[in-house]
Amino acid sequence: MKRLAFAIGILTLGIAAATPVRADFAVVMFKDGHCRPWADSKAAPIGSGWKYHWVGLKSWDYAASRKRYAMRHHWCKSFYP
């Protein structure tokens, strides 16, 4: 019985580790021209005058690199950390 419980526990941990985590980061530009990585694209910024540059990015670091790309191409004035 202990072996069965152990096997079920290992199987459960394996399935939990194998399920993909949904990462949904974005780069948002506000109306004043500043860009910022955004942690959840479904939870949009409050107010109007903003737009997405990129949506569905895989990590915060990748969103920050896209933000730097937008700054190099003068799509954004500067960024909020």
pLDDT, residue 33, reads 85
- Residue 63's H or E segment, with its range, is helix 60-72
pLDDT, residue 17, reads 63
pLDDT, residue 10, reads 80
CA 45 to each of CA 13, 56, 73: distance values in angstroms, whole numbers, following the listed order: 36, 16, 23
pLDDT tens-place values along the chain, 81 residues long:
888 878 887 877 777 665 556 678 999 988 888 888 888 877 888 888 899 888 888 888 999 999 889 888 988 887 555
pLDDT, residue 21, reads 60
Within 13 Å and on the Cβ side, how many CA atoms surround 39? 1
How much is the pTM? 0.64
